[in-house]
Amino acid sequence: MSIIEKYSSAIKNKDEASMNNLLHDDFKFTMHKSGNTLGKGDVIKWAMSGDIKQDKSRVVYENDEVGVHHAFVTFDDGNVEAVMAVYRYKDGKIMSLETGATPMPK
């Protein structure tokens, strides 16, 4: 299973231990749509809240250094976004994640 698949599975299953193992301690998540930046603890807390539901998730590309992922994400508030994510890896863990999102009709 790829790193992205493990990450998506951890979000889906609210698996905090896996999230801790997958994210580098210096992890940084940049959301270009909002301009927000989150650290490891913030992302794990958000993922454990159940707010993130991915559909039609697919790994576009992945190697030992980077990964590219696309999914349709539905949030608890009913908003749906097409999300393109780029991951950078270090020491087999996710070091950074950057996303761009396009709002979709509800």
pLDDT at residue 33 greater than cutoff 90: no
How many domains is the chain partitioned into structurally? Answer: 1
Contact 59, 74 (CB under 8 A): no
pLDDT at 35: 87
Helix, strand, coil percentages (3-state) for the chain, rounded to 5, are 25, 50, 25
Percent of the chain with pLDDT over 90: 93
Residue 24: give its domain's CATH number: 3.10.450.50
Q: Are 97 and 30 in contact (CB under 8 A)?
A: yes
Q: Which amino acid is at 57?
A: S
pTM, two decimal places: 0.92
Contact 47, 17 (CB under 8 A): no
Domain span at residue 64 reads 3-104
CA dihedral of 22, 99, 35, 101, whole degrees rounded to 10: -140
pLDDT of residue 60: 98
